[in-house]
């Protein structure tokens, strides 16, 4: 939930894949391109994307550490190899952080072992330059297929924060990536991680997020990640459990809004479909340390994509042997 909680000083080295900032920026963050050349003449994604089956996963990896602080790279590799997803969104990624057992930055080592393309979307501002700050954190995307373009957006509104709600809050971001599918269509994926301290802060960030994702409202795409927010659907018949959220250390931040949870209903009002809600049951558990089941990780399908979603589940690992403090969410999409 909170990347700063495990941000000790690591041993670092610069990545061998250079992410080259261009002159175009988004709220102070460089527009980043993956190592695959940009195919500018390709059409945008449309609703007519046939004969494509894909598996998508989102996973908060807890800053390359298990809940008890051990390096978790090998465990993450094992989990993600078993899931065998085509597209994977990651939260709480430190890059170019080095970890035990790898001679590359952890993100590069993970992508290499999975034989996937990757791109990193930092949440911190920095001057336009070739090299990332040594301890950058943010979101990442892994893809079996080429990532032809990506951009890191800053989740800070252009207008003044009159209530000073974002003061001293961790900077959050939205990673946007365009993937070249085997049928030569492109598919857009957004990966984000919203604030963990309060619904009011998340509402500001969500408003900025929607200003970017709204450009794709009529195209198939997904938005995924750790939203640090609960769905009213999960507590529709569990009012006592909802009231009991305050017993967990992070619980008050999930229930601070007097009107109840707002983030997830706002996503639904915008037209996004909660993939897990299509196939799962209320009361699921994606954040492991919580004293009672809570689900704060989501894969959202746009309206043009929703009918192609064929399954969605929370990936379960053996108890007390989890790689992270979150469980992966996995969805399957099939255009026929």
- In sequence order, what E strands does 144-197 have? 147-154, 173-180, 186-193
What confidence score (pLDDT) does residue 167 get?
Answer: 78
Tell me the CB-side half-sphere exposure of residue 9, using CA atoms within 13 A. 0
- Domains identified in the chain, total number: 1
Residues 224, 58 contacting (CB under 8 angstroms) = yes
Residue 180 token pair: 């070249």
What confidence score (pLDDT) does residue 131 get?
Answer: 64
User: Minimum mean pLDDT among 214-223, 255-264, 281-290: which range?
Assistant: 255-264
Query: Is residue 232 predicted with pLDDT exceeding 60?
Result: yes
Element (H, E) at 234: none
Mean model confidence pLDDT for the chain: 83
Relative to beta strand 173-180, strand 147-154 is: antiparallel
Quote the Cα angle for 251-193-296, to 5°.
Answer: 40
More confident residue, 291 or 2: 291
Tell me the backbone φ, ψ of residue 252, rounded to 5 degrees. Answer: -55, -30
What confidence score (pLDDT) does residue 34 get?
Answer: 41
CB-CB neighbours of 182 under 10 Å: 11
Tell me the backbone φ, ψ of residue 69, rounded to 5 degrees. Answer: 95, 5
Closest CA to 12 of 86, 150, 107, 91: 107
Q: What Å distances lie between residue 178 and 10, 149, 208, CA to CA?
A: 31, 5, 19
Q: What is the CATH number of the domain that holds 306?
A: 3.60.10.10
147 vs 301: CA distance, rounded Å? 19
In the chain, the percentage of residues whose pLDDT exceeds 70 is 78
Closest CA to 179 of 142, 140, 218, 223: 142
User: Minimum mean pLDDT among 44-58, 165-179, 269-283: which range?
Assistant: 44-58
Q: Cβ neighbours of residue 249 under 8 Å, at least 6 residues apart?
A: none
pLDDT in tens, 45-77: 444 456 899 999 999 999 999 999 999 999 999
132 vs 120: CA distance, rounded Å? 10
Q: pTM for the full model?
A: 0.85
CB-CB neighbours of 47 under 10 Å: 13
pLDDT in tens, 77-119: 999 999 999 999 999 999 999 998 899 999 999 999 999 999 9
82 vs 73: CA distance, rounded Å? 14
Residue 307 token pair: 């009918």
Residues 212, 243 contacting (CB under 8 angstroms) = no
213 vs 271: CA distance, rounded Å? 11
Please report the sign of the dihedral spanned by the C-alpha atoms of residue 302, residue 304, residue 307, residue 309: negative
Residue span of the structural domain in which 324 resides: 3-37+46-335
What confidence score (pLDDT) does residue 184 get?
Answer: 92
pLDDT in tens, 1-28: 676 565 543 333 333 333 333 223 333 3
Q: What average pLDDT does this structure show over 201-227?
A: 95
Q: What Å distances lie between residue 245 and 166, 179, 241, 319, CA to CA?
A: 24, 38, 7, 22
Closest CA to 261 of 298, 238, 241, 235: 235
What confidence score (pLDDT) does residue 25 get?
Answer: 31
């Amino acid at each position: 939930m909170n990347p700063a909680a495990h941000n000790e000083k690591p041993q670092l080295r610069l990545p061998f894949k250079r992410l080259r900032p261009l002159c175009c920026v988004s709220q102070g963050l460089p527009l980043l391109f993956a190592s695959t050349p940009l195919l500018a003449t390709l059409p945008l994604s449309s609703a007519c994307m046939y004969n494509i089956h894909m598996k998508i996963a989102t996973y908060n990896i807890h800053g390359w550490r298990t809940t008890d602080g051990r390096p978790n790279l090998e465990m993450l590799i094992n989990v993600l190899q078993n899931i065998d997803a085509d597209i994977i969104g990651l939260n709480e990624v430190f890059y170019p952080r080095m970890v035990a057992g790898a001679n590359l930055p952890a993100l590069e080592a993970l992508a290499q072992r999975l034989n996937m393309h990757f791109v990193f979307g930092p949440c911190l501002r920095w001057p336009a330059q070739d090299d990332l700050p040594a301890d950058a954190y943010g979101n990442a995307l892994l893809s079996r297929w080429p990532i032809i373009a990506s951009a890191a957006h800053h989740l800070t509104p252009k207008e003044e924060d009159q209530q000073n709600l974002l003061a001293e809050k961790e900077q959050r971001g939205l990673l946007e990536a365009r993937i070249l599918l085997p049928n030569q269509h492109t598919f857009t994926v957004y990966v984000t991680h919203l604030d963990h301290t309060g619904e009011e802060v998340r509402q500001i960030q969500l408003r900025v997020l929607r200003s970017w994702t709204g450009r794709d409202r009529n195209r198939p795409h997904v938005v995924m990640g750790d939203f640090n927010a609960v769905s009213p659907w999960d507590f529709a018949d569990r009012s006592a459990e909802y009231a009991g959220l305050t017993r967990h250390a992070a619980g008050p931040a999930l229930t601070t809004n007097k009107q109840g949870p707002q983030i997830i209903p706002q996503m639904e009002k915008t037209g996004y479909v909660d993939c897990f809600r299509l196939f799962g049951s209320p009361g699921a558990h994606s954040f492991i340390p919580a004293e009672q089941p809570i689900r704060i990780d989501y894969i959202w399908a746009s309206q043009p994509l929703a009918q192609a979603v064929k399954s969605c589940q929370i990936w379960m690992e053996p108890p007390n042997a989890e790689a992270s403090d979150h469980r992966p969410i996995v969805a399957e999409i099939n255009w026929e």
